[in-house]
Amino acid sequence: VRTAILISGRGSNMVALIEAAQAADFPAEIVLVAANLPEAGGLERARQAGIATASVDHRPFGKDREAFERKLDEVLRVNQIELVALAGFMRVLTPWFVTRWQGRLVNIHPSLLPDFRGTHTHARALEAGVAEHGCTVHFVVPELDAGPTILQAKVPVLPGDDEASLSARVLQQEHALYPRALALVASGAARLETSAGVGT
Ligand code: GRF
């Protein structure tokens, strides 16, 4: 299954996916890493791993999110991408894009969804005083961080934790969880139940 990873930053989840996909029996092949920021550190790491890269800078498109997404969609289609994994991709996607890729678009979110949708999840988890925190890989639907869960991993919140210690504990789980979840989707073992067709 020809798979693209979309990033905005350092790409540590991207590296975990690329490494897992090197196994001969892994059902997804990572053929492209694309970023919305040409300066995203992960692009260089992808190139070092021998993966093709693309950047579609969202900034020249201003407020026209769909125009940016049409460009991104074109890059994905030119590369014959079948499955898209968001990994620290910091753009909210419009219903147009999400519907087009429905069932073939997944994301990793650093919380136990449905808790702590949106940003600053670790700080909010600490503030809320929860005993457990973690990460979720989910199908992307138009509503932000609301799609069905594929897999979750939990970590304890420990006395004395701050945002850095807690996010590091969660990130370690992310790197193990995302490859497992992507394999489930690529193999067809996990599916988004929907009556809506995918884009053509
Ligand atoms: C991860 O915590 C991911 O869950 C969140 O953004 C972070 C990206 O980190 N959405 P990286 O770029 O994969 O290192």
| Ligand 1 atom 6: residue of nearest CA | 88
Query: What pLDDT shows up at residue 193?
Result: 87
ipTM above 0.90, yes or no: yes
Query: What pLDDT shows up at residue 176?
Result: 98
Query: What pLDDT shows up at residue 144?
Result: 94
Which residue of 174, 175, 177, 178 sits with most ligand 1 atoms within 8 Å of its CB, as the best mutation to test the pocket?
174
Among 139, 149, 87, 90, which residue's Cα sits nearest to residue 114?
149
For residue 195, report the distance from its CA to the centre of ligand 1, in Å. Answer: 31
CB 170 within 8 A of CB 152: no
**Domain ranges within the chain, ordered by starting residue:** 2-187
CB of 10 closer than 6 A to ligand 1? yes
Query: What pLDDT shows up at residue 200?
Result: 40
As annotated, the active-site residues are 109
| E strand or H helix at 7 | strand 2-7
For residue 10, report the distance from its CA to the centre of ligand 1, in Å. Answer: 8
Q: Say whether 11 counts as a known binding-site residue.
A: yes
Query: What pLDDT shows up at residue 167?
Result: 98
pLDDT digit string (tens) for the chain, length 200 residues: 999 999 999 999 999 999 999 999 999 999 999 999 999 999 999 999 999 999 999 999 999 999 999 999 999 999 999 999 999 999 999 999 999 999 999 999 999 999 999 999 999 999 999 999 999 999 999 999 999 999 999 999 999 999 999 999 999 999 999 999 999 999 999 999 865 544 44
Query: What pLDDT shows up at residue 195?
Result: 55
Q: How far apart are CA 135 and CA 162, in angstroms?
A: 17
> Hey, what are 162's tokens?
């701050």
Phi, psi dihedrals of residue 74, rounded to the nearest 5°: -65, -45
Q: Where are the alpha helices (DSSP H) in the chain?
A: 12-21, 41-48, 65-78, 95-100, 121-128, 163-187
Q: What is the CATH number of domain 2-187?
A: 3.40.50.170
